[in-house]
């Protein structure tokens, strides 16, 4: 891609993405060009007639080349906006998605917790957002991936909550001796057979251990259900993201282990999105 105007390069990049079959190529081209120029996407139209300097042209060409391989935009840019804050994103963590913000909204509707536990913390999006919203709270993030914990640690530092966020390797609730007022969790829940049907952005680039726990998609919930009772403080709540077809199965698992206060929450489209248990 040779330097020319910003607008011409943008159109050429969008055409490349279109030819590769990338969904919403115009949007992605704008995001990548904005990053190459170091400006907010909303200001891009003001620069359409500007000459595109060689360093920006090279950066844009490189990013378009990555996107035609279906690498997610968040990984290319190295960040994702979640609940109004930028989080570092790499191939070692799930890309925090807008639907997961439902857990944040539900958490903030309840009482302020003193201690928060995030099971499978990944980038730390859930735990660190809640710590930023509740300056007096402290929390623990558990993840089986050391690489994911490193990403979460960097995000904790950039958000200024590192002093209140402990990040620890672990296997769900195993070995946890203390109790928490609020537990949040976005576990892997996609049945193994469904992985090949996912978008290429997801199945080829995001960590499989964070997408699928096994054959049924319920394996992680079963393990968590068996151990979460020892981690949840009296009067505490736990919030889980679930798959759209798990609105009956996950609540049933929680009731089987003795939780009576189990609520299913739907998203704006009426689909099952999260399960809440409380004491």
pLDDT in tens, 164-192: 999 999 999 999 999 999 999 999 999 99
Cα–Cα distance, 111 to 137 (Å, whole number): 11
pLDDT computed for residue 171 by the predictor: 93
Global confidence as pTM: 0.93
pLDDT computed for residue 96 by the predictor: 95
pLDDT computed for residue 36 by the predictor: 97
Instruction: Indicate the length of the chain as a whole number.
Output: 279
User: Which residues of the chain, if any, have pLDDT below 50?
Assistant: 1-2
Cα–Cα distance, 57 to 54 (Å, whole number): 5
CATH dotted code for 90-278: 3.40.50.150
Q: Are strands 85-88 and 261-266 parallel, antiparallel or unpaired?
A: unpaired
Q: Is the dihedral of CA 250, 253, 254, 255 positive or negative?
A: positive
pLDDT computed for residue 244 by the predictor: 86
pLDDT computed for residue 269 by the predictor: 82
pLDDT computed for residue 230 by the predictor: 94
pLDDT computed for residue 3 by the predictor: 57
- The pair of three-digit structure tokens given for residue 19, joined into one six-digit string: 């030819």
Sheet containing 115-119: give its strands across: 165-169, 138-143, 115-119, 180-185, 232-241, 272-278, 261-266
Terminal C-alpha separation, the chain? 60
């Amino acid at each position: 891609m040779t330097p020319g105007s910003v607008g011409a390069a943008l159109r050429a990049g969008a055409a490349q993405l279109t030819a590769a079959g990338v969904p919403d190529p115009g949007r992605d081209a704008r995001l990548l060009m904005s990053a190459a120029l170091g400006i907010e996407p909303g200001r891009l139209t003001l620069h359409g007639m500007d000459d595109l300097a060689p360093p920006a042209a090279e950066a844009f060409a490189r990013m378009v080349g990555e996107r035609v391989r279906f690498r997610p935009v968040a990984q290319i840019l190295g960040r994702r906006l979640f609940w109004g804050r930028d989080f570092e994103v790499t191939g070692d963590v799930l890309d925090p998605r807008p639907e997961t913000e439902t857990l944040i909204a539900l958490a903030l509707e309840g009482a302020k917790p003193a201690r928060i536990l995030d099971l499978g913390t990944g980038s730390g999006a859930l735990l660190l957002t809640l710590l930023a919203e509740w300056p007096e709270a402290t929390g623990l993030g558990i993840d089986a991936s050391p690489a994911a914990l490193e990403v979460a640690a960097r995000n904790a530092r950039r958000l200024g909550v590192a002093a209140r966020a402990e990040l620890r390797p672990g296997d769900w609730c195993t070995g946890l001796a203390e109790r928490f007022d609020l537990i949040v969790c976005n576990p892997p829940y996609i049945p193994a057979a469904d992985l090949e049907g996912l978008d290429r952005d997801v199945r080829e680039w995001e960590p499989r251990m964070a997408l699928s726990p096994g054959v049924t998609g319920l394996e992680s919930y079963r393990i968590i259900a068996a151990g979460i009772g020892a981690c949840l403080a009296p009067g505490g709540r736990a919030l889980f993201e679930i798959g759209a077809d798990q609105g009956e199965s996950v609540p049933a698992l929680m009731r089987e282990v003795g939780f009576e206060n189990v609520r299913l929450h739907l998203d704006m489209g009426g689909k099952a999105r999260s399960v809440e248990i409380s004491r």
